[in-house]
Amino acid sequence: MLPTLPGYRTRSDRFDDFVLDSAERLHDIWGKPLDGVRFAVDEIPPGLEQLVADRAPPRWVPTPRPHRTRAR
């Protein structure tokens, strides 16, 4: 695939670019305090996706908001 086509870069490559862009933006905003900060992206640990898929979804029951009346 040609480098100019969208499918050339993987999702992982694009995510790395987003992190790098964000780090540069933060450095532009904060400047000197971030001089020693290093940003990195780790690979997903093996089996993590399966572990998340096997977990039961959290049990959550929405609670209704109390009815509000307008003061006149």
Distance from the Cα of residue 35 to its chain's centroid: 23
How far, in Å, CA of 22 to CA of 41, rounded? Answer: 12
Q: What range defines the domain where residue 10 resides? A: 1-35
31 falls within a domain? yes
Return the pLDDT at 69.
67
15 falls within a domain? yes
Tens-level pLDDT at each residue, the chain (72 residues): 677 777 788 888 888 999 999 999 999 999 888 888 888 888 877 888 787 788 776 677 777 777 666 665
40 falls within a domain? no
58 falls within a domain? no
Q: Do residues 34 and 26 touch, judged by C-beta distance below 8 A?
A: yes
Return the pLDDT at 26.
92
Return the pLDDT at 56.
72
Does the pTM surpass 0.75? The reply is: no
Give the number of domains in the chain.
1
21 falls within a domain? yes
22 falls within a domain? yes
